[in-house]
Amino acid sequence: MTKLARRIIGAIPVLLGISFLVFLLLHLAPGDPVLLLLGDDATPAEVARVRHQWGLDQPLMVQYWQFISRAFLGDFGMSLKFGEPVTKLVLERLPATVELALVSLTVAILIAIPIGIYSAIHRDSLLDHAGTGAALIGVSLPNFWLGIMLIYFLGGQLNLLPVAGRIEYGIEIKPITKLYLLDSLLTGNFEAFWSVLKHLLMPAVTLGTALAGIVTRITRSSILEVMRQDYVMTARAKGLSERVVIWRHILRNALITVITILGLQLGALLSGSVITETVFSYPGIGDLLIQSISVRDYRLTQVLILFFGASYFIVNLLVDIVYTFVDPRIKL
Amino acid sequence: MLRLRHFKILFGGFILVVLVVCGVAAPLLAPFDPQEQRLEARLQAPSWIGGNATSNWLGTDNLGRDILSRIVYGSRISLLVGATTVLLAGLIGCSLGAIAGYFGKGADEIVGKITEIFLAFPFLLLAIALMAFLGQGLINIILALMMSRWVQYCRVVRGEVLSLKERDFVTAAKALGGKDFYILVRHVVPNTLASVTVVATFAMAVVIISEASLSFLGLGVPASIPTWGSMLSEGRSYMNRAPWLTIFPGLAIFITVFGINLLGDGLRDVLDPKLRRQV
């Protein structure tokens, strides 16, 4: 437990480092962010007013202190372009991204783990080569191109699936968790459920394909590694059936690695969501990030990046901690 | 018999060579000037899919520019950004990794904390963030990708150096009076090159996809320079009328990245099978 505490305390400087790096980004920007925002025809008085309003006329460390002490209380200021509190904007859109990430993760797991297991157990078979080839293709496909192609073929040519948004216009969902799939199920609104699912399918495949490729490769190689271990040979020598050897001795051990990798791949999902949400005009925080960048709302951009970085770091920390419970041999 | 890994290296290497040749000899290979606009020949489909663009093998875009020529010229940016980033990130990552691994203690601690901060950002997201604040530009994109990519090298090299420095040849070099820096550069670092080559190959694939992603998002090089990502982004608006605008640049990215990944796979199997779990 002391190690756990140490690990959590050790996370604090890293989180502070992340916040400082993100804070510095604003000052890295070439030119004056205030001028960029107000345009060239702003009067010096206006510029000075906004600069004062943002606290940009204060020394750097004072600005950082103000930024971090307010952030600690959940106050990230107002978005200048949207005219709303940044926290509200982020929280409004967060459930959409979480839902997309979870569905993509599910798609990736459902595709990748069976292929990975089959490939490893039937190593060097024709289907193994097909599986590993497909995984390499998955890793190499640029997700924005895949998204556009899906929109063109499935959305445009075949007219099978909706190409943008989260739910059909006019269908209402009573918000409980704000995860539409879950809410529509909880309220028994199957029309909405079907609509949300249809809207999620193409973005989820777009986002999940690369992840599926990575997970297939990791699953296959970690099973192959476990298969070489002495205890597997012992299990076989004891005369256990192949089924028991595979399920109880090989998969259990190999999948621990896969679970960790899944945790680490959350980063890829978050970055991928930025692109996927842009391609599908999906109203999540990735789409918000690109919007905020394009209208040069530096404050919102800064907070969103901080949010992405911090949540990725915290999830990784949680994965590490959970991992020690799953496999007691691992030390933090 | 030709082993699978040799096939991977040959095929992947071939694709990489094609990319290099396209990039270097673009003015000789491209049938048209990539910037030449012919408004009378806008959005023409290639003749082999039933269009009337006979001399434009892959059709023309919304300004009548030749798609094939733009793809050939676009390979320059992919290649330039890919190679420069991989080299610079490698230089920084390997140096810091070697120092951290060899000297340990304080150096390792500091480098460890810095890597942890950089690793806290998903790679592409860090690049997006940097580009958002640095602004468009070739140097900026290389800088942004380099700053987000050096960490991988650092971790692999640090790990390798940690085990290499305990080996007998290092002890022998020390016993003969070799200075730390000399031993590190002359004896330790050269032994990490196999792993570094593998990491660099995979990094190149990731960097090329990332450059295309950033250009697609409008955060890459300025729009006046043809890149695969920006071609895709421009072509999106004409997707229903002229799908070839998005299909071909995307295929170019996919084939390139697939080839480099294949090469990386093959090299890893030959040079350093234990990296299998890491890259």
Q: Do B253 and A142 touch (CB under 8 A)?
A: yes
What whole-number distance in Å separates Cα of residue A327 and Cα of residue A330? 6
Q: Which residues in chain A have Cβ-Cβ distances shorter than 8 Å to B276? A: 221
Of the candidates B131, B101, B125, which has an alpha carbon nearest to the alpha carbon of residue B220? B131
CB proximity B123 to A under 8 Å: yes
pLDDT above 90 coverage of chain B, percent: 65
Residues of B in contact with A18 (CB under 8 A): 117, 120-121
Q: How far apart are CA A283 and CA A277, in angstroms?
A: 7
Whether the CB-CB separation of B119 and A317 falls below 8 Å is answered with no
Amino acid at A165: G
Minimum CA–CA partner of A315 in chain B: B120
Asked if B276 and A221 come within 8 Å (Cβ–Cβ), the reply is yes
CA dihedral B93, B99, B104, B108 (to 10 degrees): -40
Closest alpha carbon within chain B to A257: B277
Give A186-226 pLDDT, tens digit per residue. 998 999 999 999 999 999 999 999 999 999 999 998 899 88
Give CA B229 to chain center in angstroms: 14
User: A272 contacts in B (CB within 8 Å)?
Assistant: 124
- DSSP result, B164-198: HTTSHHHHHHHHTT--HHHHIIIIIGGGGHHHHHH
- Cα separations in angstroms, B122 against A145, A316, B47, B126, B264: 20, 11, 43, 6, 22
Determine the pLDDT at residue B277.
53
Q: Is B232 close to A17, i.e. CB distance below 8 A?
A: no
Of B246, B262, B276, the CB nearest to A148: B246
Q: Is B208 on the interface with A (CB under 8 A)?
A: no
Q: Determine the residue of chain B that is closest to A267 in CA distance.
A: B122
Which among A222, A270, A298 is the nearest to B125, CB-wise?
A270
Taking residues A159-181, what's their average pLDDT? 89
Helix-then-strand count for chain A, H and E: 15, 0
Whether B277 sits inside 8 A of A221 (CB atoms) is yes
**Residues on chain B touching A274 (C-beta within 8 angstroms):** 124-125, 128, 217
pLDDT at B279: 47
Confidence of residue B121 (pLDDT cuts 50, 70, 90): confident
Helix, coil or strand: residue A82: coil
User: DSSP assignment, residue B62?
Assistant: T
Give A152-182 as a DSSP string: IIIIIIS--S--SSSS-TT-----SSS-HHH
End-to-end CA distance of chain B: 27
The residue among A81, A137, A148, A332 with the most chain B CBs within 10 A of its CB, best to mutate, is A148
Give residue A30's pLDDT: 64
* Shortest alpha-carbon distance between residue B167 and chain A (Å): 26
Are residues B258 and A137, on separate chains, in Cβ contact within 8 Å?
Answer: yes
Query: Which residue in chain B has the smallest CA separation from A308?
Result: B121
pLDDT over 90 at A170, yes or no: no
> Residue B159: is its pLDDT beyond 60?
yes
Residues in contact with B165: Cβ distance below 8 Å, sequence separation at least 6, in sequence order: B101, B102, B188
| Helix/strand/coil percent split, chain B, to 5 | 75, 0, 25
Whether A301 sits inside 8 A of B129 (CB atoms) is yes
Confidence of residue A326 (pLDDT cuts 50, 70, 90): low
CA-atom Rg of chain B in angstroms: 22
**Is pLDDT above 60 for B278?**
no
> pLDDT tens across A100-150, in order?
999 999 999 999 999 999 999 998 899 999 999 999 999 999 999 999 999
Substitution target in B4, B15, B114, B117 with the highest count of A β-carbons within 10 Å is B117
Contact (CB<8Å) A145/B219: no
Cβ under 8 Å to A: B residues 133-162: 133-135
pLDDT at B254 over 90: yes
**In this complex, do B236 and A148 lie within 8 Å of one another by their Cβ atoms?**
yes
For the segment B10-28, what is each residue's pLDDT rounded down to a tens digit?
A: 999 999 999 999 999 999 9
d(CA B155, CA A228): 26
State the pLDDT confidence band at B1, using cuts at 50, 70 and 90.
Answer: very low
Summarize the confidence of residues B71-92 as an average pLDDT.
95
Q: Which two tokens stand for residue B157?
A: 């090299």
pLDDT band at B148 (very low <50, low <70, confident <90, very high): confident
Return the pLDDT at B129.
83
- Which two tokens mark A5? 């505490």
Residue B123 and residue B22: Cα distance in Å, rounded? Answer: 28
- Write phi, then psi, for B50 (nearest 5 degrees): 95, 10
Q: Pick B122's closest partner by Cβ from A151, A271, A289.
A: A271
Q: What ipTM is given for this predicted complex?
A: 0.89
Helix, strand, or coil (residue B53): strand
- The answer to which of A33-37, B35-39, B107-111 has the lowest mean pLDDT is A33-37
B221-232: average pLDDT: 91
Indicate yes or no: CB of B129 within 8 angstroms of CB of A305. Answer: yes
The 10 Å CB-count burial string (b at 16+, else e) for A205-242 is: bbbbbbbbbbbbbbbbbbbbbbbeeeebeebeeeeeee
Q: Indicate yes or no: CB of B121 within 8 angstroms of CB of A312.
A: yes
Cα B154 to Cα A309, B95, B145, B162: the distances in Å are: 20, 8, 15, 12
Whole-number Å distance between alpha carbons of B214 and A283: 20
Q: Distance between CA A248 and CA A241 in Å, rounded?
A: 11
Residue B15 contacts A where some CB pair is shorter than 8 Å: no
Per-range mean pLDDT, top range of A293-302, B31-40, B46-55: B31-40
Determine the residue of chain B that is closest to A20 in CA distance. B117
Q: How far is B99 from chain A (nearest CA, A)?
A: 21
Q: How far are the Cα atoms of B99, B168, B171, B172 from residue B175, in angstroms, in the given order?
A: 20, 10, 6, 5
Chain B stretch 26-45, residues whose beta carbon is closer than 8 A to a beta carbon of chain A: none
What mean pLDDT is reported for chain A? 86
A13–B217 CB contact, under 8 Å = no
Q: Is the pLDDT of residue B69 over 50?
A: yes
The answer to whether A271 contacts B236, with C-beta atoms less than 8 Å apart, is no
- In this predicted structure, the answer to whether residue A331 has a pLDDT above a threshold of 60 is no
- If one compares A142 and A266, the residue with the highest pLDDT of the two is A142
DSSP reduced 3-state for A240: coil
